[in-house]
Amino acid sequence: MSGLYFDVAHLLAGGLVLMSFTLLYQDRLSALVNVFALHALVLAMAVAWQAYVQDAPHLYVTAVIALAFKAIVIPLALRRIIRRLGIHREIETAVGVGPAMLAGIGLVALSMVVMLRVTEEADRLAREDLAFALSVVLLGLLMMVTRRNAVSQVIGFMSLENGLILAAAGAKGMPLVVEISVAFSVLIAFIVIGVFLFRIRERFETIDVEALDRFREARE
């Protein structure tokens, strides 16, 4: 593996982690959607680079899915939903931006420590890719925990899933990557956009998850 290949892969995977951090501190929904589109774009580039480096043409399919579906279709749909619901105001975060960023840094450090230590024998590129991917996954989880709003939770989930696709693409010759990314896209498209948001919109004045909790308390 020559230096350039490695550096570019490194740059793109690191860029994805950076985008995850950017997602963490967005406090407006429309900005959050824009950053997510960038997140997906960086993922598409990272996967395409892996396809080129590994000479694995099927990964190009995954890259195209990431680009077309997650960087273009989903953000457009989300923007429509946000506009229709009239919730392009501020996001309430359960945790402030400062603590969230600090927790994020801690999580990245944790994933570096865990992954780099256990993968000493693995291929150098795959190794760092996995460490970055775990960081993205954990940051996505953090975002899902710190946000109360349904749309931002979904975005958190999608960024988490981007980390998984990065890991799958980085694992050399892993089979079924395309199938898995399609399955994820189906999961997102089907449930999130189609069913849930519309149903929640249909029944609730707000799609704030806290509103859901209120109904529960009234009952139990």
Partner 1 sequence: MTLFGLNAIHAVLLIPALAAAVLALLPGYRLSARINTAAALATFAAAVSLFFQRPPVGNYLQVDDLSVVFIVLGAFVGFTTSLFSASYIAHEVETGRLTPVRLRFYHAMYQVLMFGMNLALVSNNLGVMWVAIELATLTTVAMVGIYRTHEAIEAAWKYFILGSVGIALALFGTILVYVAAEPVVGQGLQGMVWTVLMTKVAAFDPALLNVAFVFLLLGYGTKVGLAPLHAWLPDAHAEGPTPISAVLSGLLLNVALYAVLRFKMLLAANHAALAPGPLLVTMGLVSLVFAGFMLYRRRDIKRMFAYSSIEHMGIIAFAFGMGGPLANFAGLLHMTMHSLTKSGIFFTVGHIAQVKESQRIADIRGLTVTHPILGWSLVAGVLAIAGLPPFGIFTSEFLVITSTFARQPLLAAPLVFGILVAFGALLLRLQGLAFGEPSPGTAGTKASYLPMIAHFGLVLAAGIYFPPLLTGWFQHVARLLG
Choose the stretch contacting partner 1; rule: CB under 8 A; options: 32-40, 81-89, 90-98, 137-145.
Answer: 137-145
Q: Which is nearer to partner 1, 98 or 173 (CB)?
A: 173
The distance of closest approach from Cβ of residue 211 to partner 1 in the complex, given in angstroms and rounded to an integer, is 9
Is residue 205 at the binding interface for partner 1, with CB under 8 A as the rule? no
Residue 116: both structure tokens together: 């780099």
Residue type, 33: V
Q: Which is nearer to partner 1, 71 or 134 (CB)?
A: 134
What number of chain residues touch partner 1 (CB under 8 A)?
50
Is residue 141 at the binding interface for partner 1, with CB under 8 A as the rule? yes
Is residue 216 at the binding interface for partner 1, with CB under 8 A as the rule? yes
The distance of closest approach from Cβ of residue 69 to partner 1 in the complex, given in angstroms and rounded to an integer, is 17
> Per DSSP, what are the bridge partners of residue 147?
93
3-state secondary structure labels for all residues of the chain: CCHHHHHHHHHHHHHHHHHHHHHHCCCEHHHHHHHHHHHHHHHHHHHHHHHHHHCCCHHHHHHHHHHHHHHHHHHHHHHHHHHHHCCCCECCECCCHHHHHHHHHHHHHHHHHHHHHHCCCCCHHHHHHHHHHHHHHHHHHHHHHHECEHHHHHHHHHHHHHHHHHHHHHCCCCCCHHHHHHHHHHHHHHHHHHHHHHHHHHHCCCCEHHHHHHHHHHHC
Is residue 21 at the binding interface for partner 1, with CB under 8 A as the rule? no
Q: How many CA atoms lie within 13 A of 112 on its CB side?
A: 8
The distance of closest approach from Cβ of residue 122 to partner 1 in the complex, given in angstroms and rounded to an integer, is 6
Is residue 67 at the binding interface for partner 1, with CB under 8 A as the rule? no
Q: Which is nearer to partner 1, 64 or 180 (CB)?
A: 180
* Contacts (Cβ under 8 Å, ≥6 apart) of 7: none
Is residue 190 at the binding interface for partner 1, with CB under 8 A as the rule? yes
Is residue 58 at the binding interface for partner 1, with CB under 8 A as the rule? no
How far apart CA 166 and CA 198 sit, in angstroms, is 30
Between 70 and 109, how does the x/- string for binding to partner 1 read (CB under 8 A)? Answer: ----------------------------------------
Site residues for partner 1 per CB under 8 A: 114-115, 117-122, 126, 130, 133-134, 137, 141, 144, 150, 153, 157, 160-161, 164, 167-168, 171-176, 179-180, 183, 186-187, 190-191, 195-196, 199-200, 202-204, 209, 212-213, 215-216, 219-220
